[in-house]
């Protein structure tokens, strides 16, 4: 089966390091190997990393087009729709993690601890992957301020977080990351905390 070499561009997320990754995956579908074989070396010196990537891709709970339904250019997004989209992005990150190899084998307390540590990075990756419009970030800020009023100094810090979020989404969109790369980035974020 022909393999193609792919180099993943480094992405710097808040609280993480640059992770240049390079791997190969088959150009045609193949069944996933048993879990014990993931990462093992195959007959031709090729790794089963490609099958692991396939498993990561299959773990995606929703196609990214499903998010796009509420983000059509002529569709006006209110605070309720923004909150709904943000909730979908968070829930999809949890659902994805529950479906990837090795994560379900962890103790539930460890699963919860990992997700608590990396939820914001997974949210940024999912927001970029679903092509969240950049005008949504200020609306997310408004929704957050509407949900829980805060002191002026906290508002400044909160708005700075929104600005950083928007910058990270813009950077990822500029890289034109594909679905396999997003899945690998999410796995790296989840398992390297």
CATH at 96: 1.10.565.10
Torsion of Cα atoms, 130 then 35 then 104 then 58, to 10°: 20
Q: Tens of pLDDT along 109-127?
A: 999 999 999 999 999 999 9
CA distance 99 to 58: 8
Range of the domain at 23: 3-58
- 61 versus 39: the higher-pLDDT residue is 61
Q: Do 169 and 114 share a structural domain?
A: yes
pTM: 0.65
pLDDT of the residue at 85: 84
Q: Do 114 and 87 share a structural domain?
A: yes
**At which of 40, 58, 76 does a domain end?**
58
Q: Do 78 and 54 share a structural domain?
A: no
Enter the tokens of residue 63: 């196609």
pLDDT for 99 beyond 90: yes
pLDDT of the residue at 193: 74
Q: Do 74 and 8 share a structural domain?
A: no
pLDDT grade for 79, boundaries at 50, 70 and 90: low
21-30, 131-140, 148-157: range with lowest mean pLDDT: 21-30
pLDDT grade for 158, boundaries at 50, 70 and 90: confident
pLDDT grade for 188, boundaries at 50, 70 and 90: very high
Q: Do 39 and 120 share a structural domain?
A: no
**At which of 28, 43, 58 does a domain end?**
58
**At which of 11, 28, 58 does a domain end?**
58
Non-local CB neighbours of 91 within 8 Å, separated by 6+ positions: 61
The pLDDT mean for the chain works out to 72
**Looking at residue 29, what DSSP letter applies?**
-
Where would I find the H helices in the chain?
A: 49-58, 64-68, 79-99, 108-129, 136-147, 152-175, 179-191
Q: Do 119 and 30 share a structural domain?
A: no
Most confident of 82-91, 136-145, 152-161: 82-91
Chain centroid, CA 35 distance in Å: 22
CA distance 5 to 177: 15
Looking at the structure of the chain, the number of domains it has is 2
Non-local CB neighbours of 111 within 8 Å, separated by 6+ positions: 97, 98, 103, 104
Q: Do 24 and 54 share a structural domain?
A: yes
């Amino acid at each position: 089966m022909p393999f193609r070499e792919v180099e993943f561009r480094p992405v710097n997320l808040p609280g993480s390091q640059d992770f240049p990754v390079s791997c190969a995956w088959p150009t045609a579908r193949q069944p996933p190997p048993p879990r014990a074989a993931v990462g093992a070396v195959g007959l031709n010196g090729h790794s089963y990393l490609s099958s692991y990537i396939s498993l990561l891709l299959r773990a995606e709970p929703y196609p990214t087009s499903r998010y796009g339904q509420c983000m059509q250019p002529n569709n006006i997004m209110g605070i309720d729709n923004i909150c709904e989209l943000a909730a979908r992005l968070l829930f999809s990150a949890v659902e994805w993690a529950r479906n990837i190899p090795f994560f379900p084998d962890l103790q539930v307390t460890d699963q919860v601890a990992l997700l608590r540590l990396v939820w914001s990075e997974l949210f940024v990756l999912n927001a970029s992957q679903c092509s969240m419009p950049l005008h949504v970030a200020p609306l997310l800020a408004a929704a957050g301020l509407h949900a829980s009023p805060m002191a002026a100094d906290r508002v400044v810090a909160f708005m700075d977080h929104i600005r950083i979020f928007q910058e990270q989404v813009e950077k990822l969109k500029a890289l034109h990351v594909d679905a396999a790369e997003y899945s690998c980035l999410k796995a790296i974020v989840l398992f390297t905390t």
